[in-house]
A and B are shown apart, each in its own frame.
Chain A
Amino acid sequence: MLDRVSVSHDDKVAATDQPLLIADGLSKRYGRIDACRGVSFELYPGEVLAIVGESGSGKSTLLQMLSAQLAPSAGRVSYRMRDGVLRDLAALGEAERRLLLRTDWGFVHQDPAQGLRMAVSAGANVGERLMAIGWNHYGRIRDTASDWLQRVEIDTSRIDDAPRTYSGGMRQRLQIARNLVTGPRLVFMDEPTGGLDVSVQARLLDLVRSLVTELGLAAIVVTHDLAVARLLSHRILVMKSGRVIETGLTDQVLDDPREPYTQLLVSSILPA
């Protein structure tokens, strides 16, 4: 089970015509509150999907259900494993689910402190996933970690510093490196640019966009920032009060919104 996971990406290209993840009628109730109602969509390999909407529209609840961290009240999520078999996430054992989370998936939190170990060095933060899947050679772990720090534009001389000495933008980039080191096929991002200033945001978005293209990653990005959605995503899902009210290609939805709420959302961007 804990075999070293292959870091090659050749196997993904073959199956791009089949969906990687299928959400089917996902609903979540918190007591009397419907946080999420009947959300269905399919995500294909290499595709970036943005989920936009205002605070309280159910974006984060949906993301947690998709990433198997929260059990839906109704509906289900299926994921195509590396062997090509589509599996219902609710039917996976805990061990399988956790293995999936730290090998084939990545999760980038809005607050890097949630996704990083703030007290251990950057190198160990990146290396943790490798050690968790059985890597047992210090030199190789360190080389891989330093390679990944370079790819996310962190100076490798900072490899032994703890992330609490890092700036906000560096922490976020380190979190991305930590997630991508095992060569995941799907990355969840929860407001990845939240709390960063504009120039740092731009650099991070640029980095994420090039990594996603380069590695052929599929990603689900939750954001309230339409600019992030426009830059990163191929498709967009607009949520309001727990429902998906509009969906389509990103430029189509943003340039020609159909629903009144989406029109309002698009028109509320301040002109640059």
Chain B
Amino acid sequence: MIEASYNFAYLDEQTKRMIRRAILKAIAIPGYQVPFASREMPMPYGWGTGGVQVTASILGPDDTLKVIDQGSDDTTNAISIRKFFAKTAGVATTTSTPAASVIQTRHRIPETTLHEGQVLVYQVPIPEPLRFLEPRETETRRMHALAEYGLMHVKLYEDIAKFGHIATSYAYPVKVAGRYVMDPSPTPKFDNPKMNDCAALQLFGAGREKRIYAIPPYTQVVSLDFEDHPFTRYRQNAPCALCGAEDSYLDEIVTDDRGGRMFVCSDTDYCEGRRAQGHTGTESAPMEAADA
């Protein structure tokens, strides 16, 4: 049920048309940052104003929306955005990855493999991968235009020189379709391989920086590296304490003030799904007790 005073999905139709044009251009040039006239949204910058505008522009009445924040469906940011669209667009919402048609995410890609027809919308704080190496925006645009990406390797070189390995663990630069170098938003580099040849459409919205970029389905996405220091995924060396998963990205949770900690799946939907199938970890309670 849409509240009478809102246009569908909050934004006016002209704005949505403008953003859709930017999205189409972004899809046509994978990895290229398309400027767009980002609007003020009823939430502060840094809370996903870019992602929300992209979601608002692509959402239809039949869509099912899922929102995650660091993999979790039940943190403040995720719940607020989900409620926002339930109120302004009246769309169905879900926490199940396979059931969603649009997934807005802050810094994770769900563990469950995405399928065709789904759209993954990323909230992006800083879209420019070269920002901290070359502060001039005029210069970075020229570097993108001429595909001068030597500087990106300077960052990786510095990592190895300082730490002995590529220590960049999130916002790890990727090359999209063999052309543009792109910042995959601050997702952990564990998620980088999932971007490659992904069946779903991936859209990136940066509200404050006023940029939209995209990875069309089944596009090659390569993480940058050196021949003698290849890209590696990083994962805490433990199974999930609740569902025993060995393949998921883990959050570290401090449990007391004496050094106690446990590792649990960052993707709550994936973890719940596994527990429903009967998988258990070292800390898991029986499902019946949890429901009660």
A residues touching B (Cβ–Cβ < 8 Å)?
2, 94-95, 98, 117, 120-121, 123-124, 127-133, 136-139, 141-142, 159-160
Q: Which of A94, A95, A131 contacts B157 (CB 8 A)?
A: A131
Interchain CB contact under 8 A, A129 and B150: yes
Bound: A2/B149 CA distance, A? 11
Interchain CB contact under 8 A, B229 and A121: no
Interchain CB contact under 8 A, B227 and A123: no
- Quick one: given A137-B228, A138-B229, A139-B228, are A160 and B162 in contact (CB under 8 Å)? yes
Interchain CB contact under 8 A, B226 and A132: no
Interchain CB contact under 8 A, B227 and A128: no
Return the 4 tightest CB-CB contacts between A and B, nearest first: A132-B150, A131-B153, A131-B150, A138-B226
Over the window 222-249 of chain B, the binary record of Cβ atoms lying under 8 Å from chain A Cβ atoms (1 yes, 0 no) is: 0000111100000000000000000000
Interface size class of B (residues with CB under 8 A): 10 to 19
User: Closest approach, in angstroms, between the C-beta of A32 and any C-beta of chain B?
Assistant: 29
Interchain CB contact under 8 A, B228 and A117: no
Interchain CB contact under 8 A, B157 and A141: yes
Verify if B116 is at the interface (C-beta below 8 Å from A): no
Interchain CB contact under 8 A, B161 and A123: yes
Bound: A2/B179 CA distance, A? 13
Interchain CB contact under 8 A, A117 and B154: yes
Interchain CB contact under 8 A, B157 and A138: yes
Residues of chain A with a CB closer than 8 A to B227's CB: 136-138
Residues of chain A with a CB closer than 8 A to B150's CB: 128-133
Closest residue on chain B to residue A132 by CB atoms: B150
Q: Which of A2, A129, A137 contacts B226 (CB 8 A)?
A: A137
13 residue pairs A–B, Cβ–Cβ below 8 Å: A94-B142, A94-B146, A95-B146, A98-B146, A117-B154, A120-B133, A127-B154, A128-B150, A131-B151, A132-B148, A132-B150, A137-B227, A141-B157
Bound: A24/B158 CA distance, A? 44
Bound: A66/B150 CA distance, A? 25
Bound: A176/B226 CA distance, A? 26
User: Closest approach, in angstroms, between the C-beta of B205 and any C-beta of chain A?
Assistant: 30
- Quick one: given A137-B228, A138-B226, A138-B228, are A98 and B158 in contact (CB under 8 Å)? no
Residues of chain A with a CB closer than 8 A to B148's CB: 98, 132
Over the window 140-173 of chain B, the binary record of Cβ atoms lying under 8 Å from chain A Cβ atoms (1 yes, 0 no) is: 0010001110110110011011100000000000
Closest residue on chain B to residue A93 by CB atoms: B146
Residues of chain B with a CB closer than 8 A to A141's CB: 157
Over the window 114-155 of chain B, the binary record of Cβ atoms lying under 8 Å from chain A Cβ atoms (1 yes, 0 no) is: 000000000000000000010000000010001110110110
Bound: A120/B146 CA distance, A? 23
Closest residue on chain B to residue A125 by CB atoms: B154
Residues of chain B with a CB closer than 8 A to A124's CB: 154, 157-158, 161
Bound: A73/B69 CA distance, A? 57
Given contacts A123-B157, A129-B150, A141-B157, 13 further A-B contacts (CB under 8 A): A2-B147, A95-B146, A98-B146, A117-B154, A120-B158, A124-B158, A124-B161, A131-B150, A131-B151, A132-B151, A136-B153, A138-B228, A139-B228
